[in-house]
Chain A
Amino acid sequence: DVKVTQSSRYLVKRTGEKVFLECVQDMDHENMFWYRQDPGLGLRLIYFSYDVKMKEKGDIPEGYSVSREKKERFSLILESASTNQTSMYLCATRGPSYEQYFGPGTRLTVT
Protein backbone atom coordinates (compact mmCIF):
# COMPACT_ATOMS: atom_id res chain seq x y z
CA ASP A 1 0.00 0.00 0.00
CA VAL A 2 1.13 3.51 -0.79
CA LYS A 3 1.74 5.54 2.32
CA VAL A 4 1.71 9.33 2.20
CA THR A 5 2.23 11.14 5.48
CA GLN A 6 1.91 14.80 6.29
CA SER A 7 3.75 16.38 9.18
CA SER A 8 0.72 17.82 10.97
CA ARG A 9 -3.01 17.18 10.93
CA TYR A 10 -3.89 20.55 12.44
CA LEU A 11 -1.85 23.73 12.53
CA VAL A 12 -2.58 27.24 13.79
CA LYS A 13 -0.28 30.06 12.71
CA ARG A 14 -0.30 33.82 12.94
CA THR A 15 -0.42 36.20 9.99
CA GLY A 16 3.07 36.88 8.67
CA GLU A 17 4.62 33.68 9.99
CA LYS A 18 6.61 31.39 7.74
CA VAL A 19 4.92 28.00 7.55
CA PHE A 20 6.37 24.68 6.44
CA LEU A 21 4.14 21.76 5.49
CA GLU A 22 5.96 18.51 4.94
CA CYS A 23 4.94 15.45 2.97
CA VAL A 24 6.72 12.11 2.86
CA GLN A 25 5.95 9.10 0.67
CA ASP A 26 7.33 5.61 0.85
CA MET A 27 6.67 4.32 -2.66
CA ASP A 28 9.55 5.81 -4.62
CA HIS A 29 7.10 7.77 -6.77
CA GLU A 30 8.51 10.37 -9.12
CA ASN A 31 5.58 12.78 -9.00
CA MET A 32 4.35 14.68 -5.97
CA PHE A 33 1.66 17.32 -5.67
CA TRP A 34 0.32 19.94 -3.28
CA TYR A 35 -3.37 20.90 -3.37
CA ARG A 36 -5.62 22.99 -1.24
CA GLN A 37 -9.25 22.17 -0.68
CA ASP A 38 -11.82 24.82 0.13
CA PRO A 39 -15.60 24.41 0.44
CA GLY A 40 -17.31 24.86 -2.90
CA LEU A 41 -14.00 25.13 -4.77
CA GLY A 42 -12.85 21.52 -4.89
CA LEU A 43 -9.17 20.65 -5.01
CA ARG A 44 -6.89 23.22 -6.58
CA LEU A 45 -3.32 22.44 -7.56
CA ILE A 46 -0.67 24.68 -6.00
CA TYR A 47 2.59 23.10 -7.17
CA PHE A 48 3.85 19.76 -8.36
CA SER A 49 7.21 18.11 -8.79
CA TYR A 50 8.18 15.36 -11.23
CA ASP A 51 11.70 14.82 -9.94
CA VAL A 52 14.12 15.89 -7.25
CA LYS A 53 14.78 19.63 -7.40
CA MET A 54 12.20 20.00 -10.19
CA LYS A 55 8.97 21.91 -9.67
CA GLU A 56 6.11 23.23 -11.73
CA LYS A 57 3.49 25.82 -10.83
CA GLY A 58 -0.07 24.64 -10.62
CA ASP A 59 -3.20 26.76 -10.86
CA ILE A 60 -2.75 28.84 -7.68
CA PRO A 61 0.99 29.15 -6.83
CA GLU A 62 0.86 32.74 -5.56
CA GLY A 63 2.00 33.04 -1.96
CA TYR A 64 3.54 29.56 -1.93
CA SER A 65 6.86 27.95 -2.74
CA VAL A 66 8.02 24.32 -2.64
CA SER A 67 11.14 22.32 -2.06
CA ARG A 68 12.06 18.81 -3.17
CA GLU A 69 15.57 17.94 -2.05
CA LYS A 70 14.91 14.20 -1.74
CA LYS A 71 12.65 11.98 -3.79
CA GLU A 72 10.48 10.96 -0.86
CA ARG A 73 9.91 14.44 0.58
CA PHE A 74 8.01 17.41 -0.83
CA SER A 75 7.61 20.57 1.25
CA LEU A 76 5.15 23.40 0.82
CA ILE A 77 6.24 26.77 2.19
CA LEU A 78 4.08 29.77 2.98
CA GLU A 79 6.62 32.58 3.10
CA SER A 80 4.32 34.96 4.97
CA ALA A 81 1.05 33.36 5.97
CA SER A 82 -2.14 35.29 5.38
CA THR A 83 -5.70 34.63 6.53
CA ASN A 84 -6.78 33.71 3.00
CA GLN A 85 -4.41 30.76 3.17
CA THR A 86 -6.55 29.14 5.86
CA SER A 87 -7.45 25.87 4.19
CA MET A 88 -7.05 22.10 4.06
CA TYR A 89 -3.74 21.24 2.39
CA LEU A 90 -3.39 17.89 0.69
CA CYS A 91 -0.26 16.21 -0.56
CA ALA A 92 -0.40 13.48 -3.21
CA THR A 93 1.94 11.22 -5.10
CA ARG A 94 1.65 9.45 -8.40
CA GLY A 95 3.42 6.43 -9.75
CA PRO A 96 3.46 5.08 -13.28
CA SER A 97 -0.33 5.16 -13.64
CA TYR A 98 -2.55 8.21 -13.46
CA GLU A 99 -3.97 7.51 -10.00
CA GLN A 100 -2.83 9.88 -7.30
CA TYR A 101 -2.54 8.82 -3.68
CA PHE A 102 -3.29 11.40 -1.05
CA GLY A 103 -2.09 12.02 2.46
CA PRO A 104 -4.51 12.70 5.32
CA GLY A 105 -4.31 16.46 4.92
CA THR A 106 -3.26 19.37 7.12
CA ARG A 107 -5.94 21.74 8.33
CA LEU A 108 -4.15 25.10 8.53
CA THR A 109 -5.71 28.07 10.29
CA VAL A 110 -4.05 31.46 9.96
CA THR A 111 -5.23 34.01 12.52
Chain B
Amino acid sequence: DQQVKQNSPSLSVQEGRISILNCDYTNSMFDYFLWYKKYPAEGPTFLISISSIKDKNEDGRFTVFLNKSAKHLSLHIVPSQPGDSAVYFCAAINQAGTALIFGKGTTLSVSS
Protein backbone atom coordinates (compact mmCIF):
# COMPACT_ATOMS: atom_id res chain seq x y z
CA ASP B 1 0.00 0.00 0.00
CA GLN B 2 1.60 3.18 -1.19
CA GLN B 3 1.65 5.84 1.50
CA VAL B 4 3.22 8.60 -0.61
CA LYS B 5 1.90 8.97 -4.13
CA GLN B 6 3.10 10.96 -7.06
CA ASN B 7 0.42 10.31 -9.62
CA SER B 8 2.04 12.08 -12.56
CA PRO B 9 5.03 10.13 -13.86
CA SER B 10 6.09 13.03 -16.06
CA LEU B 11 5.62 16.75 -16.63
CA SER B 12 6.77 18.96 -19.51
CA VAL B 13 7.09 22.71 -19.10
CA GLN B 14 8.56 25.55 -21.13
CA GLU B 15 11.46 27.53 -19.81
CA GLY B 16 10.34 30.52 -17.77
CA ARG B 17 6.95 29.04 -16.89
CA ILE B 18 5.85 27.55 -13.60
CA SER B 19 6.33 23.84 -12.84
CA ILE B 20 3.93 22.32 -10.33
CA LEU B 21 4.71 18.86 -9.02
CA ASN B 22 2.11 17.15 -6.87
CA CYS B 23 2.23 14.62 -4.08
CA ASP B 24 -0.49 12.95 -2.01
CA TYR B 25 -0.13 10.96 1.17
CA THR B 26 -2.44 8.65 3.05
CA ASN B 27 -1.17 8.72 6.63
CA SER B 28 -2.41 11.74 8.58
CA MET B 29 0.28 11.10 11.19
CA PHE B 30 3.06 12.18 8.82
CA ASP B 31 4.40 15.49 10.06
CA TYR B 32 7.42 16.30 7.95
CA PHE B 33 7.81 16.25 4.19
CA LEU B 34 10.75 16.67 1.86
CA TRP B 35 11.43 17.06 -1.85
CA TYR B 36 14.47 15.62 -3.56
CA LYS B 37 15.80 16.11 -7.06
CA LYS B 38 17.69 13.44 -8.93
CA TYR B 39 19.72 13.59 -12.12
CA PRO B 40 20.54 10.36 -13.99
CA ALA B 41 23.51 8.44 -12.58
CA GLU B 42 23.64 10.67 -9.48
CA GLY B 43 22.25 10.38 -5.98
CA PRO B 44 19.19 12.44 -4.99
CA THR B 45 19.86 15.88 -3.57
CA PHE B 46 17.71 17.54 -0.95
CA LEU B 47 15.70 20.49 -2.24
CA ILE B 48 13.25 21.76 0.33
CA SER B 49 11.16 20.54 3.24
CA ILE B 50 8.09 21.50 5.20
CA SER B 51 6.80 20.72 8.64
CA SER B 52 3.11 19.98 9.16
CA ILE B 53 2.77 23.06 11.35
CA LYS B 54 3.32 25.20 8.26
CA ASP B 55 1.43 25.47 5.01
CA LYS B 56 4.18 27.04 2.92
CA ASN B 57 7.94 27.10 2.74
CA GLU B 58 9.93 29.06 0.20
CA ASP B 59 13.54 28.89 -0.90
CA GLY B 60 14.46 30.95 -3.93
CA ARG B 61 12.64 29.61 -6.97
CA PHE B 62 11.24 26.67 -5.02
CA THR B 63 8.10 26.78 -2.88
CA VAL B 64 6.40 23.86 -1.20
CA PHE B 65 2.75 24.08 -0.20
CA LEU B 66 1.07 21.74 2.26
CA ASN B 67 -2.67 21.16 2.51
CA LYS B 68 -3.11 18.90 5.53
CA SER B 69 -6.85 18.51 5.21
CA ALA B 70 -6.42 17.21 1.67
CA LYS B 71 -3.23 15.30 2.54
CA HIS B 72 -1.61 16.98 -0.42
CA LEU B 73 1.59 18.85 -1.05
CA SER B 74 2.99 20.51 -4.11
CA LEU B 75 6.33 21.85 -5.25
CA HIS B 76 6.30 25.01 -7.36
CA ILE B 77 9.32 26.01 -9.41
CA VAL B 78 9.23 29.55 -10.77
CA PRO B 79 10.66 30.31 -13.24
CA SER B 80 11.52 26.87 -14.59
CA GLN B 81 14.95 26.44 -16.17
CA PRO B 82 16.31 23.67 -18.41
CA GLY B 83 18.69 22.67 -15.60
CA ASP B 84 15.64 21.80 -13.51
CA SER B 85 15.00 18.81 -15.78
CA ALA B 86 15.32 15.83 -13.44
CA VAL B 87 13.28 13.33 -11.45
CA TYR B 88 11.62 14.83 -8.39
CA PHE B 89 10.78 12.68 -5.39
CA CYS B 90 8.39 13.57 -2.63
CA ALA B 91 9.10 11.95 0.75
CA ALA B 92 7.55 11.83 4.21
CA ILE B 93 9.23 10.96 7.47
CA ASN B 94 7.72 7.80 8.91
CA GLN B 95 5.84 7.77 12.19
CA ALA B 96 8.82 6.44 14.11
CA GLY B 97 10.86 9.32 12.73
CA THR B 98 13.51 6.88 11.58
CA ALA B 99 13.21 6.66 7.81
CA LEU B 100 11.83 8.41 4.75
CA ILE B 101 9.00 7.03 2.66
CA PHE B 102 9.41 8.06 -0.96
CA GLY B 103 6.95 8.48 -3.79
CA LYS B 104 7.73 6.96 -7.18
CA GLY B 105 8.93 10.24 -8.63
CA THR B 106 7.91 12.67 -11.37
CA THR B 107 10.20 13.33 -14.30
CA LEU B 108 10.25 17.04 -15.11
CA SER B 109 11.38 18.17 -18.57
CA VAL B 110 11.93 21.87 -19.09
CA SER B 111 12.36 22.87 -22.72
CA SER B 112 14.06 26.05 -23.88
**A residues with CB within 8 A of B:** 4, 9, 31, 33, 35, 40-45, 48, 50, 56, 58, 90, 92, 98-105, 107
B79 within 8 A of A: no
CA distance A104 to B102 in the complex (A): 18
Supply 19 A–B pairs (Cβ within 8 Å), ascending by A.
A40-B104, A41-B104, A42-B102, A42-B103, A42-B104, A43-B44, A43-B102, A45-B100, A50-B98, A56-B98, A58-B99, A98-B34, A98-B93, A99-B49, A100-B46, A104-B41, A104-B42, A105-B41, A107-B41
In contact, A48 and B98 (Cβ under 8 angstroms): yes
In contact, A33 and B99 (Cβ under 8 angstroms): yes
- B contacts with A, residue count (CB < 8 A): 23
B62 within 8 A of A: no
Give every chain A residue within 8 A of B101 (Cβ-Cβ).
45
Give every chain B residue within 8 A of A104 (Cβ-Cβ).
41-43
B9 within 8 A of A: yes
- A-B CB proximity, top 6 nearest: A102-B43, A42-B104, A43-B102, A42-B102, A99-B46, A102-B44
Give every chain A residue within 8 A of B36 (Cβ-Cβ).
102
CA distance A58 to B98 in the complex (A): 10
Extra A-B contacts (10), CB below 8 Å, given A42-B89, A42-B102, A98-B49: A33-B99, A41-B104, A43-B89, A98-B100, A99-B46, A100-B100, A102-B36, A103-B43, A105-B41, A107-B41
Give every chain B residue within 8 A of A35 (Cβ-Cβ).
102
| Closest beta carbon of chain B to A89's beta carbon, Å | 10
| Closest beta carbon of chain A to B81's beta carbon, Å | 22
In contact, A40 and B44 (Cβ under 8 angstroms): no
B7 within 8 A of A: no
CA distance A67 to B6 in the complex (A): 33
Give every chain B residue within 8 A of A98 (Cβ-Cβ).
32, 34, 49, 93, 97, 100
| Closest beta carbon of chain B to A4's beta carbon, Å | 7
